[in-house]
Structure 1
Amino acid sequence: MTETRFATCNLCEACCGLALTVEGGRVTGVQGDPDHPLSRGHLCPKAVALPDMHEDGKRLRTPVRRTADGWEPMGWDEALDLVATRLADVRERHGKDAVGVYLGNPTVHSLGAMTHGTAFFGMLRTRNRFSATSVDQLPHQFVAQRLYGHQLMLPIPDIDRTDHFLVIGGNPMVSNGSLMTVPDFARRRKALADRGGRLVVLDPRRTETAKTADEHHFIRPGTDAALLLAMVHLILPTATPPPYVDGLDELAALVAPCTPEWAAPITGVDARVITRLAEDFASAKTAVAYGRTGVSMQRHGAVCQWAVQLLNIITGNLDRPGGALVPRPAVDVLKLVSPGHFDAWRSRVRGLPEFAGELPVAVLAEEIETPGEGRIRALVVNAGNPVLSTPDGRRMAKALASLDFMVAIDVKLNETNEHADVVLPPTTALERDHYDLVFSAFAVRDAAWFNGPVLPKHPDARHDWEIFRDLGLRYAKRFKPKPFTTLRLRLNPRTLLDVLLRTGPHRLSLRKLRRNPHGIDLGALKPSFPGRLRTTGKRVDLVPDVLAAGVEAVAAMAPPEGLLLIGRRHLRANNSWMNDVRRLTKGRARHHLLMHPDDLARHGLRDGDDVVVASAVGEVTVPVTASDEVMAGVVSLPHGYPAASANDLTDPAVVDAVSGNAVLNGVPVRVGPAPRAVTSSG
């Protein structure tokens, strides 16, 4: 029998609705759901590969443990007993901070990980918590907490109604949004053009988004803060901020030296162009600025994201249709997640401050390597691959190999969990319930959707929430948690979700969502400030002290010299995973280096040569491709490819001085010919 079942792709932040053809217990067709209120029929190649991931021959279906002779299957009870016991033993012997936690991006794509994983990780009571947040988005959350009072109060571009969309270091044509859930960006970009609006992109690479823009300007990596502050400087004399905003005079004094003439030699963007960009943005009927990984993953990431917010605020485009608005999702995630705190404690070795209970991942390896009280001796990794996604992956791999104990919750072996003692495999997306607790809070339109399993799970399989429940209940025998934590672990995610929906702003229920398998449209984003602000007096202070201090470092910038490395995102890949799915990786290898033809000639290289790319921490050998898509002085290499990953060139010692986010863009590198293989004759 052939059926059509509806689902939501959870592989990236776009949250595309799917119509799946199911026949004989297998998914035989994947199409976009035209009735989904957000994605409207759009899907990308990653969604088409969902059945491949479900049927992947490398996928684990039972727990395994590492032995001297290789990986050995285990029963669930034996594996869960072993993991809970070893974690508890380490805590008893060395203290709670001796157990570390690393959470990969897929954690927030899973309903069960959000309802039960967070409860289990909280039971560990460790200060050594890390996640992918401090690789690519910490500056966003840091600035939101400082300006608006909550780390997840992120004003989202109202792309469907704006007249002027300024994108700095983002590529939504490929990502379909990132901290901006915007599936089918291509159609939305066309609608922007059809209504006479403009798209302007600043990026050191002519990205897929830049190729569709009305204007694209190359900018040197790591210098965006200078250009953005110069735009703020130019706009401030005619600023029209909302009445609940304070600090306008202080801001004007702070950015007084940040003139276009100062920014031009640093950024490589002509002063006249900077002036016109500011005038066009300020004079547009509605406008919104958006910056993403290109500006977050650099030395001045927090200042960049602050300046992006300043542009929206001082032009009156904050909390305004066509500007930037905060969504009101069916589940109020702001009530579930801590508003965030900063510098409540610091890392043991380098003394970097925590944010919202997490330390910067740039210190993870040293916290494992360095002897002393509080050293990480056991690690829990959920749905992550820090060896391929965090700075200096080779060093990270060595550090993981030195742990007393490591457990990974993941569907298959990867470069990180090959160092684990035990791997606990959860079900995949097609086998479990799905509701987007987090990404509906970043969507360009308010909507809600719930999907049950498309395929039944194997009788011996465990959902991730069941793994966390059973680990937590075992761990609770040694370290008693609060009664509510135990109750939360025992409840089904559906029960918890239903309570959250019924008490949310739209008073929905799980039953109502199940009666609407395509999802429910809750309407366009609406103004909600100052009422929803979480700040003292419900006011916005434009110049938080820690960000003002960051401007001093920007003011001291000089034009960068030599070659600078930036990353690159592909539509057919997803961060550090999905690079082994044949449907997505067939064809030409994508881990090659892009280099401007002038730079190739200057270094005596040719298109197609194998080259060595070296940095302060390591080197990789890759083929190089001549491309005028990158500006002169810039080379581009993606991360997440075992053959050659950009993160192997990034230095964990270099972080954003304000937030502690890793620096993966604007990395100084050297490029030269790879040694030729020596052949013998005779």
Structure 2
Amino acid sequence: MPTIHHRTCHICEANCGVLVEVEGRNVLSIKGDPDNPLSRGHICPKGSALQDLQEDPERLRKPLKRVGCEWHEISFEQAFAEIGEKTRAILAKDAGASAVYIGNPNAHSYGNALNAGFLEKALRTKNKFSASTVDQMPHQVANLRLWGHASMFPIPDADRTQTLVILGGNPMASNGSLWTVPDFRNRMRDLKARGGKLVVIDPRRTETAKIADQHLFIRPASDVFLLVALLKAVMERTPFRPVQDFVTGLDEVRALLDRFDSTACATACGVKLDDIEALADRFTSGPAVLYGRMGVATQAHGTLNAWLISLINIAAGQLDREGGWVFGLPAVDTVGVLPPGSIGRFTSRVSGHRSVLGEFPAAAMVEEIETPGKGQIKALFVVAGNPVLSTPNGARLAKALDSLDLMVSIDIYRNATSAQAHYILPPSGPLERDHYGLFLLPMAARTIAVYSPPTLSQEDGTLHDWEILRGLAHAISGEPVQAPTPRESLDGLLRAGPYALTLEQVEAAPSGIDLGPPPIGQLPARLRTEDKRVSCDVAEFMEALAALELPVEEAAGGLRLIGRRHLRTNNSWLANSRRLIKGPDRCTVMIHPDDADARGIADGGQVIVRSDAGEIALCAEVTEDMMPGTVSIPHGWGHALPGVAMANALGKPGVSVNDITLSAIDTLSGNAALSGIAVEVAAA
């Protein structure tokens, strides 16, 4: 007899509610849950990937051990024993020789989030790397400096605003990023129905730009100059609501901005000054909000961008105001639970990068493996990550991984990274685990509490991801982990939260408990700064802004690279979902017709894209959606590895753009500077 199970899709940040119809262990259908107060019945194509991942015969069910080039299935008991023994031997020679890389899916598993620290503690390592320094760390550094806590994310109050400006973000593909906003298309229809306006600023006419009222092209990695000119323009106007008295330092920022000429800034970014002035009018005349995401973070001035975005919202009178720049108040308040974060507690061994929130830049991991000496990484634990495809200069990293004495991957596939591990430890299937959006619900467009029990029973002989982490910690340290289960911890966190809910209460509402829109008027009480003030003139940001120089004009004809994402992909980990991978080739280089004609490139033709890091070959997609002088290649492809299952997904492995990205970073956050890299494109 078929049964229907309520669940949250945990593939991406949207956290859409779904209804999963099953009979026995067979999934019959996955549909949107119309009663979910956040997603409102919306579901994107990725929802079907839950079934694909669960049922994929190529998904690993048992631990694998690599001996030479051959893989052998072993038990978890054997794997833990051997890994523990080998790790202890490595650390006995050099206590600083281990490292951990935490991948993107960890943010979608509250069990992993609550247990990864046990592995790090057992290793006693300072070498922690993660996907956070590939795409989001500038936002968290700005959060820490402005609000006093790295996890205190402001979000657009999109359901009540009149003007939404999106810079370097594409929620039509992502359903929000550092902003949980499913059903984005209908939310924008509602915005327009109440007389509002959506503006997108991006070097590509993205899926979001195509539903916007206005799209403005901007030169790659020049966002900081747009933001400087826009902040100057906003400060020249009177905001529709006065700036709050707990905000300080705006006058100091205004004085520093005097050194910049707005016309020159507009020229540098390629956005007309008239358009910038018009945006300033919108920001200061009514409920409006500026949101920036991936595009603003993955560049050399990523942290300055994140800071300036908040300053524009503050100076326009939009902070903590209905329709403006607001903060969620979730059922599990991560701001109240997690430490605020720190910067500079340690420095990396090779290049002296300072730690940011306990991490070193992912772009620096390769040099820490390659460079001999005390503290050279010899043992690497990769938790649900694929850094060979996800981090800069991936080909160089792949070569470096071969030199490790021990590499362990917690992963459900052999992929470009885990294929080089000595052990792969696969967790249980995605529908066999419970779920709570611990890190994502605090950033939701509407506040809900929703818990998903396991849809299917756990297969015999498998372990959940958190059980693997505890097993590794025990095997390495020799001491069993004494801690509540994730479910028990979640109940305690809910009880201690602002609504004093119990897990029993949340579970009794399978579509979720609706807690309303983000509450207004939380500041200054919710601030985590010592003086309960927002100090806009952050010293290190002011120093960086004072040192900022307008770019020297480049020779005509140069091309700059940006990334992109697609609704049917999610970083590097959905390549084996056959219903998602089908259809036209999506791993292409998008190029403007004028740039293509100048190089003799035809639509669909094979081209070579070169940078200082290397070259890749792929097909061209000639389109006026690209700004002239800019090309775009998607992130997360490149699964062509001999004998690796994921290379065979409908024969569409694609190529990895990170084979031609460099190890440059935003020094304020350690985030990889992937956007705006100079490239050459030529017909193959």
Which residue of structure 1 lines up, in the alignment, with residue 331 of structure 2? Answer: 330
- DSSP-derived class of the 1:31 partner: strand
Which residue of structure 2 lines up, in the alignment, with residue 12 of structure 1? Answer: 12
Which residue of structure 2 lines up, in the alignment, with residue 671 of structure 1? Answer: 681
Which residue of structure 1 lines up, in the alignment, with residue 120 of structure 2? Answer: 121
Please list, as runs of the form range in 1=range in 2, the aligned pairs for 1:226-241 lying within 5 A after superposition: 226-237=225-236, 238=238, 240-241=242-243
Deviations 1:452-510 (A, max 9, x none): 11111111111011111222223332xx6xxxx9322xx22111111111111110111
TM-score by length of 2: 0.95
Q: Which amino acid aligns with 1:174?
A: A
> 1:120 offset after TM fit, Å?
2.4
> 1:69 offset after TM fit, Å?
4.9
Structure-2 separation of matches of 1:325 and 1:249:
23
Q: Which amino acid aligns with 2:151?
A: L
Deviations 1:286-334 (A, max 9, x none): 0111000011001111111111101111111111111111111111112
Does the CA-based 8 Å contact 1:265-1:559 persist in structure 2?
A: no
Q: Which amino acid aligns with 2:634?
A: P
Which residue of structure 2 lines up, in the alignment, with residue 597 of structure 1? Answer: 593
Which residue of structure 1 lines up, in the alignment, with residue 481 of structure 2? Answer: 486
Which residue of structure 1 lines up, in the alignment, with residue 29 of structure 2? Answer: 29
Q: CA distance change for structure 1 residues 556 and 69 in 2, over 3 Å: closer, same or farther? A: closer
Which residue of structure 2 lines up, in the alignment, with residue 272 of structure 1? Answer: 274
Q: Percent of pairs identical after alignment? A: 46
Which residue of structure 2 lines up, in the alignment, with residue 511 of structure 1? Answer: 504
> 1:78 offset after TM fit, Å?
0.5
Structure-2 separation of matches of 1:228 and 1:204:
15
Structure-2 separation of matches of 1:208 and 1:149:
35
Q: Which amino acid aligns with 2:620?
A: V
Q: Which amino acid aligns with 1:298?
A: Q
Return 640-649 or 612-621, whichever deviates more. Answer: 640-649
Structure-1 separation of matches of 2:383 and 2:112:
9
User: Which residue, 575, 580, 584 being the options, matches 1:584?
Assistant: 580
Q: Does 1:535 align with 2:534?
A: no
Structure-2 separation of matches of 1:444 and 1:558:
41
Q: CA distance change for structure 1 residues 10 and 560 in 2, over 3 Å: closer, same or farther? A: farther
Which residue of structure 2 lines up, in the alignment, with residue 93 of structure 1? Answer: 93
Does the CA-based 8 Å contact 1:165-1:287 persist in structure 2?
A: yes
Q: Which amino acid aligns with 1:545?
A: A
Does the CA-based 8 Å contact 2:560-2:630 persist in structure 1?
A: yes
Q: Which runs of 5+ in 1 are unaligned?
A: 675-682
- DSSP-derived class of the 1:418 partner: helix
Structure-2 separation of matches of 1:40 and 1:258:
46
User: Which residue, 540, 548, 553 being the options, matches 1:546?
Assistant: 540
Structure-2 separation of matches of 1:486 and 1:461:
19
Does the CA-based 8 Å contact 1:251-1:543 persist in structure 2?
A: yes
Which residue of structure 2 lines up, in the alignment, with residue 414 of structure 1? Answer: 415
The number of residues matched between the two structures is 663
- DSSP-derived class of the 1:328 partner: coil
Deviations 1:333-380 (A, max 9, x none): 123322111112111111111101000101000000000111111000
- DSSP-derived class of the 2:673 partner: coil
Q: Does 1:611 align with 2:607?
A: yes
Q: Does 1:645 align with 2:647?
A: no
Deviations 1:22-76 (A, max 9, x none): 1132111000011112111111101112111111111111101001251100011
Q: Which amino acid aligns with 2:195?
A: G
Please list, as runs of the form range in 1=range in 2, the aligned pairs for 1:413-562 lying within 5 A after superposition: 413-477=414-478, 486-488=481-483, 491-527=484-520, 528-561=522-555, 562=558
> 1:559 offset after TM fit, Å?
4.0
Does the CA-based 8 Å contact 2:284-2:317 persist in structure 1?
A: no
Please list, as runs of the form range in 1=range in 2, the aligned pairs for 1:285-434 lying within 5 A after superposition: 285-434=286-435
Q: Which amino acid aligns with 1:548?
A: M
Structure-2 separation of matches of 1:152 and 1:6:
28
> 1:262 offset after TM fit, Å?
1.5
> 1:659 offset after TM fit, Å?
1.5
Does the CA-based 8 Å contact 1:260-1:275 persist in structure 2?
A: no
> 1:553 offset after TM fit, Å?
4.5
User: Which residue, 229, 254, 257 being the options, matches 1:255?
Assistant: 257
> 1:282 offset after TM fit, Å?
1.8
Q: Which amino acid aligns with 1:516?
A: A
Structure-1 separation of matches of 2:673 and 2:394:
14
> 1:606 offset after TM fit, Å?
1.9
Please list, as runs of the form range in 1=range in 2, the aligned pairs for 1:151-230 lying within 5 A after superposition: 151-230=150-229
Structure-2 separation of matches of 1:647 and 1:442:
29
Structure-2 separation of matches of 1:514 and 1:607:
52
TM-score by length of 1: 0.95
Structure-2 separation of matches of 1:255 and 1:576:
40
- DSSP-derived class of the 2:561 partner: strand
Does the CA-based 8 Å contact 1:266-1:560 persist in structure 2?
A: no
Q: Does 1:43 align with 2:40?
A: no
- DSSP-derived class of the 1:524 partner: coil
Return 362-371 or 427-436, whichever deviates more. Answer: 427-436
Structure-2 separation of matches of 1:343 and 1:559:
35
Structure-1 separation of matches of 2:228 and 2:289:
16
Does the CA-based 8 Å contact 2:49-2:574 persist in structure 1?
A: no
- DSSP-derived class of the 2:516 partner: strand
- DSSP-derived class of the 2:369 partner: helix
Q: Which amino acid aligns with 1:270?
A: K
Q: Which runs of 5+ in 2 are unaligned?
A: 639-653
Aligned-residue Cα RMSD (Å) equals 1.3
Which residue of structure 2 lines up, in the alignment, with residue 662 of structure 1? Answer: 672
Q: Which amino acid aligns with 1:658?
A: L
Structure-2 separation of matches of 1:448 and 1:400:
41
Deviations 1:392-429 (A, max 9, x none): 11001011111110000011110001110001000122
Structure-2 separation of matches of 1:162 and 1:620:
43
- DSSP-derived class of the 1:632 partner: coil
Structure-1 separation of matches of 2:417 and 2:145:
34
> 1:159 offset after TM fit, Å?
0.5
Does the CA-based 8 Å contact 1:141-1:151 persist in structure 2?
A: yes
> 1:125 offset after TM fit, Å?
2.3
> 1:128 offset after TM fit, Å?
0.6
Structure-1 separation of matches of 2:301 and 2:612:
19
Does the CA-based 8 Å contact 1:550-1:657 persist in structure 2?
A: no
Q: CA distance change for structure 1 residues 559 and 319 in 2, over 3 Å: closer, same or farther? A: farther
> 1:280 offset after TM fit, Å?
2.1
Structure-2 separation of matches of 1:259 and 1:530:
34
Structure-1 separation of matches of 2:534 and 2:329:
19
Q: Which amino acid aligns with 1:254?
A: L
